[in-house]
Amino acid sequence: MTTIFYSSNTGTTRRYAELLSEKTGCPCLPLDKWENAETDDAVFLGWVFGGDIQGLKQMKETGLPLRAVGAVGIMAQDKDAVREKNCPDLPFYFLPGAFDLKKLKGMYKLMAGMIVKVIKNKLREAPNEESEKILGFFENGIDLFSEDALAPLVEKLTA
Ligand SMILES: Cc1cc2nc3c(=O)[nH]c(=O)nc-3n(C[C@H](O)[C@H](O)[C@H](O)COP(=O)(O)O)c2cc1C
């Protein structure tokens, strides 16, 4: 049996994990409850923060065999770099995330403010459409959650 473990800050990754669970029949659990699972192997879904998949290191430390990794983020153009940095040897799925400044607290809120500043500085030096778009996501919020984006991972787990 496979268990879906996840790490989520504002709920989007949890939403994907619960939908994946519904579609595959595999149970899902937050990563910090991994010791409660009786499972042969794992799928991990984590949100992307500064190019890192949150929780993946801890997931690997459990020693459970990993069948696949899902990365939930709002910068789809960086997905190859995220894969290369975090898990080049595993089946990898990028899932479009959501961003809402109102849901952020503490360090994450500060970091989001810093990201906005960095993007604005970069845009002053070199205007480009992609960065304008990402800046809009961070400033105005965005919800890119997509049931369709989950289909390849559902197929992998049910094939
Ligand atoms: C401080 C911060 C940094 C982020 N950095 C990235 C990033 O490097 N790449 C990306 O694709 N998304 C980034 N995001 C967007 C999140 O990955 C996205 O909002 C995700 O859906 C959050 O998942 P959650 O709702 O499960 O916490 C960042 C969000 C925050 C708050």
Separation CA 110–CA 77 (nearest Å)? 23
Residue spans of the domains in the chain: they are 2-99+143-158, 101-140
Confidence (pLDDT) at 134? 94
Separation CA 42–CA 28 (nearest Å)? 10
- 49 within ligand 1 shell (Cβ under 6 A): yes
Confidence (pLDDT) at 105? 94
Q: Is 156 helix (H, G, I), strand (E, B) or coil?
A: helix
- Could you report the per-residue pLDDT of 66-86, keeping only the tens digit for each? 999 999 999 999 999 999 999
* Both structure tokens of 143: 């919800």
Report the topology of domain 2-99+143-158: Rossmann fold (3.40.50)
Alpha helices in the chain (DSSP H): 12-24, 56-61, 79-86, 106-125, 129-140, 151-158
Q: Report CA(107)–ligand 1 centroid distance (Å).
A: 13
Confidence (pLDDT) at 19? 98
Residue 145 DSSP code: -
Ligand 1, atom nearest to 75 Cα: 11
Ligand 1, atom nearest to 79 Cα: 11
* Both structure tokens of 126: 């070199």
- 54 within ligand 1 shell (Cβ under 6 A): no
- Could you report the per-residue pLDDT of 88-99, keeping only the tens digit for each? 999 999 999 999
Confidence (pLDDT) at 76? 94
Confidence (pLDDT) at 53? 98
Confidence (pLDDT) at 15? 98
In this prediction the pTM is 0.97
Confidence (pLDDT) at 144? 98
Residue 101 has phi, psi (to 5 degrees) of: -55, -35
Which residues in the chain come in under a pLDDT of 70?
A: none
Amino acid, res. 61: E
Confidence (pLDDT) at 9? 97
**Nearest one of 142, 92, 98 to 10, comparing CA atoms:** 98
**Nearest one of 49, 58, 84, 76 to 5, comparing CA atoms:** 58
